């Protein structure tokens, strides 16, 4: 596999290869940098370069669009956009929202789950003011086999071996293929349950990578209803 990927890579002109290697996005530097110490492999049928930022050493990745099939020779580089349906599933674990309140969200797969959580809460007009986690078990989230929690990032011991942080985990690491669903639990006190389903992964131009709400169905409930006389 690696051999075949290397072959495709070497078929590109030196000029193009240099261009690609010198214009890689480094999330740590938040700018375009040169990649060093790279290796080449196939990832989902696409040739992918993985290496280090020449400036700071952070891991960087670059996928080559159209280089998986030998017919196309464009070296245009792409990012992957993840399109999610996110809807309010209920409060306190009860599926009590019959009318769907849904937001279709597009976001780069390289963004962290922390970032994604921020976008989700904003999309529903919620304040990003509570702890949260992503879980694969909707009925009993502590029994999840996949879990990502902010608690882990803030230094609390993870409740289980499998629990990972949300700041270090990228969307593309948590969601592999369309159809995958996770529970997004926001606020362990009020317990807002959101269902998050990956609908589509598509190649995107750099300009598409800003998180966008593509569609908005239903009116979001108030995070803090005024009739709620409980002190927040
Ligand atoms: Zn860097």
Q: How far apart (Å, rounded) are the C-alpha atoms in residues 46 and 67? A: 6
Q: What is the reported pLDDT for 76? A: 44
Same domain, 36 and 102: no
Of 75-79, 163-167, 205-209, the range with the highest mean pLDDT is 163-167
Ligand 1 centre from 38 Cα, in Å? 14
Transcribe 74-131 into DSSP letters.
Answer: ---EEEEEEEEEEEEEEETTB----S--EEEEEEETTSBHHHHHHHHHHHTT--S-S-
Q: What is the reported pLDDT for 196? A: 97
Give domain status of residue 11, yes or no. yes
What is the pLDDT averaged over residues 25-30? 91
* CATH of residue 208: 3.10.290.30
Ligand 1 centre from 27 Cα, in Å? 7
Q: Is the pTM of this model over 0.75?
A: no
Same domain, 145 and 160: yes
Count of domains for the chain: 2
Last residue of a domain, one of 75, 95, 124: 75
Give domain status of residue 201, yes or no. yes
Same domain, 62 and 118: no
How do beta strands 163-165 and 35-43 pair?
unpaired
Ligand 1 centre from 50 Cα, in Å? 13
Same domain, 141 and 201: yes
Q: How far apart (Å, rounded) are the C-alpha atoms in residues 42 and 31? A: 25
* DSSP helix/strand/coil, 39: strand
Same domain, 152 and 167: yes
Q: Kindly report, residue by residue over 100-139, the tens digit of the pLDDT.
A: 899 999 999 999 999 999 999 999 999 999 899 999 999 8
Same domain, 48 and 155: no
Ligand 1 centre from 36 Cα, in Å? 11
* DSSP helix/strand/coil, 143: helix
Ion ligand 1 neighbours, Cβ < 5 Å = 26, 28-29, 53, 55-56, 58
Ligand 1 centre from 59 Cα, in Å? 8
Q: What is the reported pLDDT for 67? A: 53
Average pLDDT, the chain: 86
Task: Pick the range with the lowest mean pLDDT from 6-10, 101-105, 119-123, 169-173.
Answer: 6-10
Express as a percent the part of the chain with pLDDT over 90. 53
Helices (H) and strands (E) in the chain, counts: 5, 13
Last residue of a domain, one of 17, 50, 75: 75
What is the pLDDT averaged over residues 88-95? 75
Ligand 1 centre from 39 Cα, in Å? 17
Domain containing residue 184: 80-217
Q: Kindly report, residue by residue over 31-89, the tens digit of the pLDDT.
A: 999 999 999 988 777 888 999 999 999 999 998 865 544 434 443 445 789 999 999 98
Ligand 1 centre from 62 Cα, in Å? 14
Q: Is residue 174's pLDDT more than 50?
A: yes
């Amino acid at each position: 596999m690696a051999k075949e990927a290397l072959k495709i890579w070497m078929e590109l002109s030196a000029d193009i290869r240099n261009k690609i290697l010198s214009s890689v996005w480094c999330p740590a530097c938040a700018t375009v940098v040169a990649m060093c110490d790279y290796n080449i492999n196939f990832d989902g049928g696409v040739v992918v370069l993985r290496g280090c930022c020449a400036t700071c050493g952070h891991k960087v990745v670059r996928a080559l669009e159209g280089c998986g099939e030998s017919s196309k020779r464009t070296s245009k580089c792409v990012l992957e956009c993840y399109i999610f349906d996110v809807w309010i599933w209920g409060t306190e674990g009860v599926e009590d929202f019959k009318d769907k309140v849904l937001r279709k969200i597009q976001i780069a797969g390289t963004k962290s789950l922390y970032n994604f959580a921020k976008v989700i809460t904003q999309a529903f007009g919620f304040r990003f003011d509570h702890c949260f986690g992503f879980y694969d078990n909707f009925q009993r989230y502590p029994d999840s086999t996949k879990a990502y929690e902010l608690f882990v990032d803030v230094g609390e011991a993870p409740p289980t071996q499998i629990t990972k942080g949300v700041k270090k985990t990228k969307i593309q690491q948590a969601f592999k293929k369309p159809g995958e669903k996770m529970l997004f639990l926001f606020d362990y006190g009020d317990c807002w349950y959101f269902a998050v389903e990956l609908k589509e992964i598509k190649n995107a131009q750099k300009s598409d990578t800003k998180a966008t709400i593509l569609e908005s169905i239903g009116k979001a409930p108030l995070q803090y209803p005024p009739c709620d006389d409980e002190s927040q």
